[in-house]
Amino acid sequence: MIEVTGVNKMFGEIKALDNIVATIQEGSIFGLIGTNGAGKSTLLRVISGVLKPDTGMALIDGENVYENPQAKAKIFFLPDNAYFFQNATAKTMAEYYQVIYPQFDMERFREMVSGFGLEFTRKLSTFSKGMKRQVALLLGVCAGTKYLICDESFDGLDPVVRQAVKSIFASEIMKRDFTPIIASHNLRELEDICDHVGLLYKGGILLSKELEEMKYHIYKVQCVFQNAGDEEEILAKLEVLQHEKRGSVMSIVARGTKQEILMTIQEKNPLLAEILPLTLEEIFISETEVAGYDIKNFIS
């Protein structure tokens, strides 16, 4: 488990991280979402033990990670711009990581590189950006660390490759103790990959939730009631996140199970009551509006 306990980080006058408290559970894929400058890279660097926070700490399985080689050995960090040595090839990079991570699986790496249609001994400097990202991700998976921290590593990968990496992650999670953490500025990049999403807003974590729980416990209902008094009663009874009225149609976004919400509405014999699916984006917007934030502009 990764625990971040009251982490603050200033760069001169800029507050990059503002009292972050977060927990990342094992065996799931954690997505960290935030706009440019929200503090994602800074937080990931703190979690990787590369950057010292001003206050607070990041604990990897209970141990402070900063300047702690034992805790750091459990982490492979993929920065947003993959760094390769001059003249490096997939093969020579793998040989380098084999020294740092003795459990590095060279055979598997060779197979996966070839499975992705990449050349093992061609200079990485001649690879496209996406191809370099693929090599970096495969190096990360084959390093065999418990935690794989990916800073925007999925952004811009083509759909076939994303799908392939997604299944590699899923099979690693089944086979061994593996927890990937993926940062992105785009919710859509992560919604089909992650089990849990944390939303970073101006250096603080605004929301951290299981995606399944979010999807199955928030619904949008469109309804038409016979009289205005019914509307007031329903709004008071349901756990409403958002509501609006257009003509006679009332749209309500409410928390609860599908059955609970519909049953409450049906008590009033509405002329119409229809449950509509919500996109993850709509769920995020509703959840954060309740907390007093307007994030419409930055999650799409």
Ligand X SMILES: Nc1ncnc2c1ncn2[C@@H]1O[C@H](COP(=O)(O)OP(=O)(O)OP(=O)(O)O)[C@@H](O)[C@H]1O
Specify the 3-state DSSP secondary structure of 135: helix
Stretch 24-43 residues interacting with ligand X (CB under 6 A): 34, 36-42
| Residues 143-182 as x/- pattern, contact with ligand X by CB under 6 A | ----------------------------------------
Comparison of 136 and 142: residue with beta carbon closer to ligand X: 136
Count how many residues are written for the chain. 300
Torsion sign over Cα 282, 288, 289, 294:
negative
Write down the least CB distance from residue 9 to ligand X, Å: 8
- Count residues near ligand X (CB under 6 A): 13
Write down the least CB distance from residue 10 to ligand X, Å: 9
Asked if residue 185 lies in contact with residue 36, where contact means CB atoms within 8 angstroms, the answer is: yes
Q: Which residues fall within 8 angstroms of residue 128, CB to CB, at 6 or more apart?
A: none
Helix 106-115 to helix 90-100 angle (10° resolution) is: 150
CA distance from start to end of the chain? 30
Asked if residue 57 lies in contact with residue 47, where contact means CB atoms within 8 angstroms, the answer is: no
Stretch 222-251 residues interacting with ligand X (CB under 6 A): none
Asked if residue 205 lies in contact with residue 38, where contact means CB atoms within 8 angstroms, the answer is: no
48 lies in the site for ligand X, by CB under 6 A: no
Return d(Cα 172, Cα 157) in angstroms, integer: 20
Return d(Cα 220, Cα 207) in angstroms, integer: 20
Write down the least CB distance from residue 239 to ligand X, Å: 32
Stretch 178-207 residues interacting with ligand X (CB under 6 A): 185
| Residues 55-84 as x/- pattern, contact with ligand X by CB under 6 A | -------------------------x----
Comparison of 40 and 217: residue with beta carbon closer to ligand X: 40
Write down the least CB distance from residue 47 to ligand X, Å: 12
Instruction: Give contact residues for ligand X (rule: CB under 6 A).
Output: 11, 14, 16, 34, 36-42, 80, 185
